[in-house]
């Protein structure tokens, strides 16, 4: 009786794509007409049950018909012309552009049957596993979809024993394995994972929590026998965090990246059970890894490095990046025995010792020799009085504007040298800076950034930067740099007004002008020191975190020093063309006075550090800013695939 099924044979009708095929509107009309007759024919429970079964079959047939029509329509959408390989590549971009724990990309499998099948056929889309989500059923399904493709697995002990056990059979085809917070793992799971063969493992990362800093014996028995005794023929990257065990059990030969990081430097241990402090084992490990490209050793250098290494040299011809952290003597002595390419970038973080047998600056001659052929163009100096830190960053490239704030000590990844000393006295900080500027090649320097927070000590800036004659841009931050403006200021020119012909010199005035000029050339901070202005090619001056009311010893307020420097450099035909003032305490009339003498003057309109001023900026209009401003032009393009209809119902 139904238009969609034959009630006698219980077989649904199938409409073929012919000119005689009825439209859906015709079908609905016939269905409505027959429905009235169908209801009147049902009188008994038996016929009612049979009719209900028939209607259910009709519903299923109707759903299949609708989905079939939607699928047919989707094939007509232009994006369906793309080959399956192209769509799979797009899915990869979507999947791996998200956060590791995100599941949003899986929605592409719910768009249509075609897209779903392409995603299911590509096993590499399902190979990355992070600790989130923790749904055991979903993890098992993804492992099934990944089949035998190389896996990237990131695990955390908080996943639970049952969930972690799902990964054990798949270690044999795991390419990257990350075990974070290893102390939270169940010991049985660690053993089950560790004893598996890993013939395709290329990257292994093992980490402990900083709160569970282990002893050598803890990790030797938990990890050493499991992860390092078996063959790892393809292992290239090894990262160890907060774990101590002998250097002798490290895999070697094929490593290209090795990173060992500890929260604090390992004290000297005399126990025979701990060989982590054995210099010979560390040297042996590095000698057996000539393919290393990245080497990071933080707070794990043996104490014996402070002694002689027997004159042995370690050749690492492919090393492009070296990161060392530890006491100054250990870092220095390891550098002495390394033979590196001149292109190797150095990240050195030293803890000051300044003992009778070792001074922090002993590392500088080694750096000078390593960078002998490099001409640095950018040089950044940052200090922190609270932690007693001085950090130096030198690069052969110039920074990209806008330049970040100077008062933050940061690792400049694009620089060839990053050197920092911790727990350094203020006097030694200045001494390190002076020696570094003497030993490093700074004759081609163009950009200089300095941050000294407090004005506790006189610094002879003219002496420190006397070799930096090519500098065009200087950025200064902190009240400890106020004396620098005296070094930037040329001496006031003597009065050279020509007297009339035959005019006689007044009695007793002979030589006074010369002596007056010489007096102006004497640096007020150091008697007998002739003041020679630095940076003759300086054109841009950027100021941050300065108080223009501060007074330099022997001179006036900072505002007067800046104004004097600008005017005198202009008189000496070495004018400042750009002056930027940001996050400084300066009065508006002072800023306007400086604007009149500098062609390109920029000021953030901040006259102090009142945070309440930042809460409401409704009265500030960039269009009315006489000092200029910056605006972001954000353009968003939305790619609409358009016209798609879901022809698949998700099962999850």
Q: Is residue 145 part of a domain?
A: no
Out of 123, 148, 182, a domain closes at 123
Q: Is residue 274 part of a domain?
A: no
Q: Is residue 594 part of a domain?
A: yes
Task: Report whether 182 contacts 163 (CB < 8 A).
Answer: no
Out of 64, 93, 123, a domain closes at 123
**Average pLDDT of the segment spanning 164-179:** 93
Residue 319: name the closest of 284, 295, 297 by CA.
295
Residues whose CB falls within 8 Å of the CB of residue 71, separated by 6 or more in sequence, listed in order: 112, 113, 114, 647
Strand, helix or coil for residue 27: helix
Q: Is residue 167 part of a domain?
A: no
- Looking at the fold, whether 70 and 87 belong to one and the same domain comes out as no
Per-residue pLDDT reduced to its tens digit, 610-652: 444 444 433 333 333 333 333 233 223 323 334 444 544 444 3
* CB crowding 424-454: b at 16 or more within 10 Å, else e: bebebbbbbbbbbbebbbbeebebbbbbbbe
- Looking at the fold, whether 14 and 89 belong to one and the same domain comes out as no
> What number of other Cβ atoms are within 10 A of residue 263's Cβ?
13
- Looking at the fold, whether 425 and 407 belong to one and the same domain comes out as yes
Structure tokens at 89: 């590549």
pLDDT of residue 403: 59
Q: Is residue 312 part of a domain?
A: no
> What number of other Cβ atoms are within 10 A of residue 148's Cβ?
9
pLDDT of residue 420: 94
- Looking at the fold, whether 109 and 50 belong to one and the same domain comes out as no
Q: Is residue 310 part of a domain?
A: no
- Which range is most confident: 61-75, 90-104, 619-633? 61-75
123 pLDDT more than 80: yes
Q: Is residue 118 part of a domain?
A: yes
- Looking at the fold, whether 97 and 49 belong to one and the same domain comes out as no
- Looking at the fold, whether 454 and 532 belong to one and the same domain comes out as yes
Q: Is residue 215 part of a domain?
A: no
pLDDT of residue 18: 43
Q: Among 50-59, 464-473, 477-486, 542-551, where is mean pLDDT lowest?
A: 50-59
- Looking at the fold, whether 21 and 116 belong to one and the same domain comes out as no
- Looking at the fold, whether 40 and 18 belong to one and the same domain comes out as yes
- Looking at the fold, whether 559 and 606 belong to one and the same domain comes out as yes
- Looking at the fold, whether 72 and 85 belong to one and the same domain comes out as no
Task: Report whether 449 contacts 472 (CB < 8 A).
Answer: no
Task: Please state the domain count of the chain.
Answer: 3
pLDDT band at 134 (very low <50, low <70, confident <90, very high): confident
Alpha helices (H) in 167-321, listed in sequence order: 187-194, 216-219, 225-227, 279-287
pLDDT band at 347 (very low <50, low <70, confident <90, very high): very high
In this predicted model, which residue has the larger pLDDT, 280 or 309?
280
468 pLDDT more than 60: yes
pLDDT of residue 14: 42
Task: Report whether 350 contacts 327 (CB < 8 A).
Answer: yes
| Percent share of the chain, pLDDT over 70 | 71
Out of 19, 44, 76, a domain closes at 76
Q: What is the pTM of this model?
A: 0.75
How many CA atoms are closer than 13 Å to the CA of 626, on its beta-carbon side? 7
Strand, helix or coil for residue 419: strand
384 pLDDT more than 70: yes
Which residue range(s) make up the domain with 14?
A: 5-76
- Looking at the fold, whether 579 and 595 belong to one and the same domain comes out as yes
Residue 122: name the closest of 94, 81, 155 by CA.
94
Give, in order, the Cα–Cα distances in Å from 7 to each of 40, 82, 199, 297: 15, 43, 62, 79
**Average pLDDT of the segment spanning 150-165:** 88
Residue 392: name the closest of 400, 403, 401, 384 by CA.
384
Q: What is the C-alpha separation between 491 and 462, in angstroms, rounded?
A: 13
Residues whose CB falls within 8 Å of the CB of residue 648, separated by 6 or more in sequence, listed in order: 67, 110, 111, 112, 113, 116
340 pLDDT more than 70: yes
- Looking at the fold, whether 566 and 479 belong to one and the same domain comes out as yes
517 pLDDT more than 70: no
């Amino acid at each position: 009786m139904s238009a969609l099924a034959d009630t006698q044979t219980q077989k649904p009708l199938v409409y073929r794509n012919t000119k005689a095929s009825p439209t859906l509107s015709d079908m609905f009309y016939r269905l409505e007409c027959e429905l009235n007759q169908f209801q009147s024919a049902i009188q008994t429970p038996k016929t009612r049950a049979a009719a209900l079964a028939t209607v259910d079959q009709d519903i299923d047939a109707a759903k299949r018909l609708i989905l079939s029509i939607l699928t047919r329509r989707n094939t007509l959408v232009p994006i369906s012309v793309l080959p399956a390989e192209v769509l799979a590549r797009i899915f990869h971009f979507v999947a791996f552009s998200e956060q590791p724990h995100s599941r949003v990309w899986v929605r592409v499998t719910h768009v249509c049957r075609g897209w779903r099948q392409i995603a299911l056929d590509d096993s590499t889309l399902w190979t990355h596993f992070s600790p989130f989500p923790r749904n055991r059923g979903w993890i098992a399904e993804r492992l099934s979809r990944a089949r035998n493709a190389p896996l990237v697995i990131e695990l955390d002990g908080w996943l639970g024993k049952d969930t972690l056990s799902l990964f054990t059979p798949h270690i044999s085809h795991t390419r990257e394995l990350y075990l974070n917070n290893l102390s939270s793992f169940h010991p049985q799971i660690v053993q089950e994972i560790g004893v598996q063969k890993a013939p395709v493992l290329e990257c292994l990362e093992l980490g402990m929590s900083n709160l569970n800093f282990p002893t050598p014996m803890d990790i030797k028995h938990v990890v050493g026998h499991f992860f390092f005794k078996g063959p790892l023929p393809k292992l290239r990257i090894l990262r160890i965090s907060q774990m101590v065990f002998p250097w002798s059990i490290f895999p070697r030969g094929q490593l290209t990246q090795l990173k060992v990081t500890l929260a604090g430097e390992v004290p000297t241990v005399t126990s025979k059970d701990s060989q982590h402090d054995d210099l010979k084992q560390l040297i042996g490990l590095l000698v057996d890894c000539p393919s290393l490209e990245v080497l990071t050793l933080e707070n794990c250098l043996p104490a014996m490095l402070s002694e002689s290494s027997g004159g042995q040299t370690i050749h690492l011809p492919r090393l492009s990046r070296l990161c060392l952290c530890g006491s100054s003597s250990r870092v220095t002595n390891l550098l002495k025995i390394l033979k590196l390419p001149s292109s190797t970038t150095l990240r050195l973080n030293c803890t000051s010792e300044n003992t009778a047998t070792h001074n922090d600056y002993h590392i500088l001659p080694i750096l000078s020799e390593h960078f002998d052929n490099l001409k640095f163009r950018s040089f950044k100096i940052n200090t922190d009085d609270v932690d007693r830190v001085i950090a130096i960053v030198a690069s052969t490239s110039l920074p990209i504007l806008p330049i970040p704030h100077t008062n933050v000590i940061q690792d400049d990844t694009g620089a060839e040298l990053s050197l920092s000393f911790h727990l350094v006295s203020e006097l030694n900080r200045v001494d390190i800076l002076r020696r570094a500027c003497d030993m490093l090649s700074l004759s081609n320097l163009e950009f200089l950034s300095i941050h000294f927070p407090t004005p506790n000590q006189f610094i002879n800036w003219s002496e420190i930067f006397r070799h930096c004659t090519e500098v065009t841009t200087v950025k200064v931050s902190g009240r400890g740099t106020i004396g620098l403006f005296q070094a930037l200021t040329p001496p006031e020119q003597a009065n050279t007004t020509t007297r009339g012909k035959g005019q006689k010199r007044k009695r007793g005035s002979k030589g006074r002008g010369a002596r007056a000029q010489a007096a102006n050339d004497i640096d007020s901070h150091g008697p007998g020191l002739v003041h020679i202005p630095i940076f003759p090619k300086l054109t841009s001056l950027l100021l941050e975190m300065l108080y223009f009311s501060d007074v330099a010893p022997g001179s006036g307020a900072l505002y007067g020093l800046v104004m004097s420097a600008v005017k005198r450099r202009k008189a000496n035909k070495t004018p400042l063309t750009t002056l930027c003032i940001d996050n400084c305490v300066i009065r508006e009339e002072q800023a306007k006075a400086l604007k009149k003498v500098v062609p390109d003057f920029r000021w953030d309109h901040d006259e102090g550090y009142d945070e309440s001023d930042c809460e409401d900026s409704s009265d500030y209009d960039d269009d009315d800013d006489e000092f200029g401003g910056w605006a972001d032009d954000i353009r968003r393009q939305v790619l609409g695939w358009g016209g798609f209809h879901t022809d698949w119902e998700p099962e999850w």
